[in-house]
Amino acid sequence: MGMTTIHLDEDLEARIAAAAEREGKTADAFIVDAIVHALARSESDDEFQRQAEERWAELRETAKSVGFDQARAYLEARAQGQRPARPY
């Protein structure tokens, strides 16, 4: 396992220690969990952006889209537990 050194000011170190104690973790475990969550969020954001760019390019190329009224009706039906056909 690799090791990285980070420099924390006293206030941040104390806040981490307190938060870790509240969660029943060591400060190291708390920091690792925070890094894992931050990475997951960043990777999710990257994937969202990639999909958005891909879908925008497809829309520009094909000019095919679903109208607002169709999309809204579909989503409202789904929210009510129905299984409507996807609008195209």
Domain boundaries, the chain: 10-79
3-state secondary structure of 12: helix
How far apart are the two ends of the chain, measured CA to CA in Å?
50
What's the confidence (pLDDT) of residue 12? 98
What's the confidence (pLDDT) of residue 1? 84
What's the confidence (pLDDT) of residue 19? 98
Tell me the per-residue pLDDT of 27-85, one tens digit each, with 9 for 90 and over.
999 999 999 999 999 999 999 999 999 999 999 999 999 999 999 999 999 999 999 99
Q: Are 84 and 75 in contact (CB under 8 A)?
A: no
What's the confidence (pLDDT) of residue 88? 81
